[in-house]
Amino acid sequence: MFRIVSAEPLPDCRVKVTFNDGVSEIFPVEPERRGGVFLKLLDTRVFNAVTVNPDFGCVEWPGGVDFCPDTMHQVMAGSESEVELHSAAALRDNAEKNQ
């Protein structure tokens, strides 16, 4: 199981993450493309408040926006299409809209 050990916000809604296996990459968050809860990240103050959740090893932002570290690692390593990237918050938001 991959865990993120550090996250640094960068301009243009990108975040530099380092995983527990030493992989370190820049990840484009692309809030406009993802929509939903991710649109909160267009606010620079919110985006720059990125932290690493110590319990789950994922990047997260205020308001419950997060990304699964295993999926991020797969995308960054090129072994999975980014279309498959989902966060728990986005799935919850989508489920609430469909109720």
Residue with tokens 């993120």: 4
Q: How many CA atoms lie within 13 A of 35 on its CB side?
A: 4
Question: Tens of pLDDT along 83-92?
Answer: 444 455 555 5
Q: Please count the residues of the chain.
A: 99
Domain residue spans of the chain:
4-97
- pTM of the predicted model over 0.85: no
pLDDT for residue 23:
92
User: Whole-angstrom Cα distance, residue 99 to residue 50?
Assistant: 30
> Domain 4-97 falls in which CATH fold?
NE0471 N-terminal domain-like (3.30.2020)
User: Whole-angstrom Cα distance, residue 61 to residue 54?
Assistant: 13
